[in-house]
Amino acid sequence: MKHSELRTLQAQINPHLLYNSLDYINCVAINHRLPDISDMVQKLVSFYKLGLNKGQDYVSLQDELEHVKAYAAIQNLRYPDSIRLIIDVPEKLLDCPISKITLQPIVENAIVHGILESDEEQGTILISVVNQDEALQWKFFCR
């Protein structure tokens, strides 16, 4: 049921309109010499392109990690340099298929309920992946 709901939500988003709108905002930001807005728009484009993935349910681990990096970069624009993201994944695993938008909610929870609720409002998220008995074994750490 959740899979069906996700597909319905994805179908409602018109990527072409989204990208054209963000491209227009980026052009206006560049013309008005607003680099912060341009930077945010470029990161949003990357985030949505990776997340939508042309309607595919699975992506490479590399694409999923790029999606998480884009999300963390967006959050670092909102909360300047609050999040340090460390990814420790052997190169040979980067082509492994994974359900898309698997890691972003985990990273979001670490940021919202861990880092931003800490006294320092800064922290590190470590994502580590190893191949254990022909299966990916994940380790997440937030401090």
The pLDDT value recorded for residue 19 is: 82
The pLDDT value recorded for residue 14 is: 67
Q: Which long-range contacts (CB under 8 A, 24 or more apart) does 11-16 make?
A: 11/55, 13/52, 15/48, 15/49, 15/52
State the total domains in the chain.
1
State which residues form the domain around 13: 2-142
The pLDDT value recorded for residue 10 is: 65
CA–CA separation, 16 and 19 (whole Å): 5
CA–CA separation, 103 and 20 (whole Å): 27
CA–CA separation, 132 and 114 (whole Å): 28
Mean pLDDT in each 10-residue stretch from start to end of the chain (143 residues)? 70 72 92 92 87 79 93 92 92 91 92 90 91 80 77
The pLDDT value recorded for residue 81 is: 80
The pLDDT value recorded for residue 52 is: 76
DSSP per position, 70-125: HHHHHHHHHTTT-EEEEEE--GGGTT-EEETTSSHHHHHHHIIIIITTSSSS-EEE
| pTM of structure | 0.79
CB neighbours of 123 closer than 8 A, spacing ≥ 6?
Answer: 82, 83, 84, 110, 114, 115, 142, 143
